[in-house]
Structure 1
Amino acid sequence: MKFKHILGSVAVASATSLLAAMPAVAQDRSDWPKSFTVGTASQGGTYFTYGSGWANLVSKELGVTGGAEVTGGPMQNMALVSMGDAQFGMTTMGPARESIEGNNPIAPGVKLDNACAMFPMYTTPFSVTVLTSSGIKSIKDIPAGAKIGFGPAGSTSDTYFPKMLEELGVKFERRNGGWSDLAGQLQDGLLDVIAFAAGVPVPAVSQLEVQTKINIIEFTPEEQKKIIDTFPVSAHEIPAGAYTSLTAPARSVSMWNFAIANCELPESFVYEAVKVVMGDHDRMMKIHKAARSTVPANWDKNGVLKWHPGAAKWFNENGASIGQDMIFKK
């Protein structure tokens, strides 16, 4: 059964698609899909900007119609890709593990294990943003009952950030929505805090600080340790200058993101798509600064997903040592 039938009312809006000239090298494409989509997340977030960029890049270079889809983020992408309703997608390691184990809230009890690792993207820092006028300068300053926006329902941010703040003793009212919408609500006084989990710089935050003064709230060393001890994240620093408002590094935590492919896709198709993305780092950096981590050396950051055979072939040809036990077999 196609997963879109299961989702029912879950809407995904199609972004710009692109068909370019056929590549110069002839090859057997008889089993390639006629088109593809990349599941991303809400507009205004890093996933959408980054995903739209590499979707269009692959479409242009391979001559296959393709583009990005607005989705609910990593959890929904795991479901869409595993069920075959999106050829490619983007996820984080936490939601990936939960989906494989059958704990994806979109498909409770269903082991979504037909989504394979494609390439490493970047780490997702968890960061708290407030208006300077709020007077909030630390996690402890967040007042009880604060209205906090956690991004789209089912996103990495929505899955983990509420639990993290609860672990730190914050009492709040939970709100969901796209990042651009939540940024607007923060500026209009309808939210007190936005808890972002997205690659830096988050477009919605960059736009927000052009219009008003904001504070990026860092974790204390004690708060950071408590979160690392409890959740599948690692220590991270958001670099100074990532935002105009950030004049010194901000202590944070982060989780790795990977592009994923439906495991049944043809090996040669995924191989060529990975080659396009990983073969020209400068082009990826022009798409989004978070792509500085989209390099072959980070293949080893995946310890959760089986690798697509086409992706594993490219990485092993380029310095990786992905074992057969980590490669998907039909």
Structure 2
Amino acid sequence: MRNTTTASLALLASGALLAAATAHAEAEVDRDGWPSSFTVGTASQGGTFYIYGSGWANLIADELGGMTGGGEVTGGPTQNLALVHSGELAFGLTTMGPADDAMNGRSPLAPGVVMDNACAMFPMYETPFSITALSSSGITSISEIPDGARIGFGPAGSTSDVYFPAILEELGVNFERRNGGWSDLGGQLQDGLLDVVAFAAGIPIPAVSQLEVQTDVNIIDFTDEELAQITEAFPVSEFDIPASTYESLDEDSHVVSMWNFAIAGCDLPESLVYEATRITMENNDRMISIHRSAEESVPENVVHNTVMPFHPGAARWFNENGYDIADDMIRQ
């Protein structure tokens, strides 16, 4: 009985010491200059950016305490870069193609303006570019998309809207361009108002999953020849959507993709961005519970940003944990 009591007391003492150490560590975090609230630029409702970004904001706010955070519906990666660069948003989600354009003054929202006040934080996931049509349309390949087809490309200025029209033009497709949120475009496809939707979003795309519940759809592959042509002409790489992603797939779907990263205003306190990066990179299970695409939100994938400097706070976490970021890739 005495041994049991002694062991229990030792366990309680150990727990108390751990709690005290944790409280002390939290107290040691420098919160000078931290905002009381923050907003994350995402994209349209029904897309992966919105779910990922809103869930991430809640996770960071919950873990840090003393502040509130939430996601904001935006036009997607291109607009997020502009909003973070200008300081209207603290954080945002973007894609490497639009990031490269913004850093070099090629943003379609502000041609000639170098948007260099947005810094990289951490890798999110790859964005596959995939095409969905109703099975009843008979469209099973890109070459079968009819001349003058009505194609939904997502919100204006989104990654899909910037790159997918050019990709299809490169492949000889003639189309009428339509824009809108992913949920709205999915509804228009189901109602026969669109012929196909060209999705660029993390998988599984909620709008496609919803379509599958309501009707039969075709998720269209790129041929080997089309893949070779596109990867030569655009900053994309080959990607396989696993067959397990959608009920409509019997085998992996061959498409292309582009990497996404979270970004922060370069002027945000280093300690805040360090803590937000630490929480994200050390809690992948919780990130996956927000959206399955976060399986790729791991430190090893930090190498996929080669176009924009990292925030010093984010770079410090990666360098402390063995994921070396070169000095010339850190905002000075």
Q: What TM-score comes out, normalization by structure 1 length?
A: 0.92
- The residue matched to 1:241 in structure 2 has which SS? helix
The match for 1:109 is 112
Which residue in 2 is equivalent to 1:254?
Answer: 257
Larger radius of gyration: 2
Corresponding residue number in structure 2 for 1:46: 48
Matching residue of 2:329:
326
Per-residue displacement from partner, 1:50-76 (whole Å, max 9, x unpaired)? Answer: 111111100111112110000000000
* Aligned residue in 2 for 1:196: 199
2:59 — aligned with what?
57
Distance apart, 1:247 and its partner CA:
1.4
Post-superposition Cα deviations, 1:172-227, rounded to whole Å, max 9, x if no partner, equal 00000000000000000000000000011001100111010000000000001100
Q: Counterparts of 1:69-84 in structure 2 under 5 Å?
A: 69-84=72-87
Structure 1: state its 5+ residue gaps: 1-22
Shift of 1:107: 1.7
How many Å separate the matches in 1 of 2:292 and 2:164?
23
Higher mean C-alpha deviation, range 23-32 or range 137-146: 23-32
Match of 1:136 in 2: 139
Asked if residue 215 in structure 1 is aligned to residue 218 in structure 2, the reply is yes
Which residue identity lines up with residue 77 of structure 1 in the other structure? N
Q: 5 Å matches for 1:170-185?
A: 170-185=173-188
Kindly indicate whether residue 306 of structure 2 is the aligned counterpart of residue 306 of structure 1. Answer: no
Aligned to 1:297: 300
How do residues 1-40 of structure 1 correspond to structure 2 at under 5 angstroms?
24=23, 25-26=26-27, 27-40=29-42
TM-score by length of 2: 0.91
Alpha-carbon separation, structure 2, partners of 1:111 and 1:137? 41
- Structure 1 residue ranges, 4+ long, deviating more than 2 angstroms after superposition: none
Cα separation, 1, equivalents of 2:80 and 2:48: 15
Q: Quick one: distance in 2 between partners of 1:299 and 1:80?
A: 23
Distance 1:68 1:145 in 2: 36
Q: 1:276 aligns with which of 276, 279, 288?
A: 279
Distance 1:171 1:106 in 2: 25
Structure 2 CA distance for aligned equivalents of residues 183 and 78 of structure 1: 26
**C-alpha displacement of 1:28:** 2.8
Q: Is the 8 A contact 2:32 2:269 kept in 1?
A: no
Cα offset, 1:231, TM superposition:
0.1
**SS of residue paired to 2:245:** coil
Bigger helix fraction:
2
Residues 133-185 of structure 1, C-alpha deviations (whole Å, 9 max, x = no match): 00000001000010000000000000000000000000100000000000000
DSSP 3-state at the match of 2:80: helix
CA–CA distance in 2 between the matches of 1:53 and 1:62?
Answer: 14
State the distance in 2 between where 1:68 and 1:35 align: 11
- 1:242 aligns with 245
Return the alpha-carbon distance in structure 1 between the equivalents of residues 158 and 290 of structure 2: 22
Q: Distance in 2 between matches of 1:34 and 1:308?
A: 20
Distance in 2 of aligned mates of 1:133 and 1:199: 26
Which of 90, 95, 100 is the aligned partner of 2:98? 95
**Cα distance, 1:241 vs structure 2:** 1.3
- Matched residue type, 1:248: E
- 2:320 corresponds in structure 1 to 317
Amino acid at match of 2:214: Q
SS of 1:257's partner is strand
How far residue 270 of structure 1 moved from its aligned partner, in angstroms, is: 0.3
- The residue that corresponds to 1:15 in the other structure is none
CA distance in 2, matches of 1:173, 1:107: 25
User: Using the alignment, how far apart are the partners of 1:96 and 1:28 within structure 2?
Assistant: 30
Distance 2:106 2:177 in 1: 21
Once the two structures are TM-superposed, the CA of residue 317 in structure 1 deviates from its matched residue by 1.3
Partner Cα separation in structure 1 for residue 168 and residue 320 of structure 2: 43
* Distance in 2, Cα, partners of 1:296 & 1:59: 21
